[in-house]
Amino acid sequence: MAEQRRDAREVRDAGQGAPGAHQREVAAAWDELVATALRTVADGLVVGTSGNVSVRVGDMVLVTPTGVPYDRLRPEDAVGVDLEGRQVLGSLAATSELPMHLAIHRATDARAVVHTHAAHATAVSTLVTELPLIHYMTGALGGPVRVAPYATYGTPELAENMLQALTGRTACLLQNHGTIAHGASLAQAFDRTAQLEWMSRVWLLASSVPGLSPTLLSPEQVGEAGERLRRYGQGGGAGSR
């Protein structure tokens, strides 16, 4: 325990500026992480504690703890690990899906990751190997959304399957499991998660009409939309239209 407290102190002191400023940055990031986790529940993307969220602050990754309802999380419950998974902040155990979060933080420039068990996206993951091109917002996720092959939750195998599916993408489906998305911020990672769930629902609805098949976009159409979306908005980048 003493070693853990010492490691946490070293992480704080490693932040830019005074230790007090870094502590405030960590506290603000934790508050935003908890708010994002609560939003996944409120929006029906997870049930109970089935999802998890992470955000990077310097060389530390803040993550939701395992098995704790989000509405019970307090500021003192903050959990932080380094990029190798060593706990450097807090006493609660990190999410069981830590390997997936760390794999993304190590392999990309993402600052935030959101993992859910969203119902429509999970249903799609059991039917296809790639979400059909039902809507141009696919372009905002980097292109056709792949389905990572199934592996037991919390394992390095699942993390590796996920990384393969995320190549050139910012979100993917996890077969018989759920979704994962990353972004430059918690807001962006959440928005990408919500878009993926919405597109999954649209495809399921359209493909369920007897005797009819939904019209799909071509990869070229999605690519063109993706280029436009990157330039969209006040500061560029995809958002609400």
Write out the catalytic residue numbers: 97
Q: Please report, for the chain, how many H helices and E strands are present, in that order.
A: 7, 8
| Measured CA distances, 2 to 79, 88, 185, 235, 236 (Å) | 16, 11, 32, 46, 47
Cα–Cα distance between 52 and 182 in angstroms, integer?
12
What is the DSSP track for 65-80? Answer: BTT--GGG--GGG--E
Phi, psi (rounded to 5 degrees) for 73: -75, 135
Phi, psi (rounded to 5 degrees) for 218: -90, 160
Q: Is 181 helix (H, G, I), strand (E, B) or coil?
A: strand
